Amino acid sequence: MRTLGFFLLYKVIMRYFLSWIVGVKWINKEHLRGKGPFIFVSNHNSHLDTMAILAALPAKQIPTTHPVAALDYFGNSRLKKKITRFLTNAILIDRNRDSNKQSPTNRMVNYLDRNHSIILFPEGSRGAPEQLQHFQKGIGALLDRRPDVAYIPIYMSGMGKVLPKGEKVLVPFVSYVIVGEPRKVKASGVEDIVAEVTAAVRSLEEALKEAIRTPSGE
pLDDT at site 56? 95
Kindly list the strands in the beta sheet with 24-27, ordered across the sheet, starting from the edge strand earlier in the chain.
24-27, 175-179, 150-157, 38-42, 117-120, 65-70, 91-93
pLDDT at site 168? 65
Entry pTM? 0.89
Give the count of beta carbons closer than 10 Å to the beta carbon of residue 198. Answer: 21
pLDDT digits (tens, 9 = 90+) for 104-152: 899 999 999 999 999 999 987 666 666 777 889 999 999 999 999 999 9
Helices assigned H by DSSP within 15-158: 15-16, 48-56, 71-74, 78-88, 104-113, 138-145
Q: How far apart are CA 93 and CA 119, in angstroms?
A: 13
Answer whether 207's CB lies under 8 Å from 58's CB.
no
Helices (H) then strands (E): counts for the chain: 9, 7
**Residue 35: pLDDT band with limits 50, 70, 90:** confident
| Residue of 105, 104, 112 whose CA lies nearest to 40 | 112
Highest mean pLDDT among 86-90, 126-130, 204-208: 204-208
The percent of residues above 90 in pLDDT, for the chain, comes to 46
3-state secondary structure 186-198: CCCCHHHHHHHHH
Q: How far apart are CA 194 and CA 74, in angstroms?
A: 25
Q: How far apart are CA 44 and CA 124, in angstroms?
A: 8
pLDDT at site 117? 97
List of domains in the chain: 2-213 (3.40.1130)
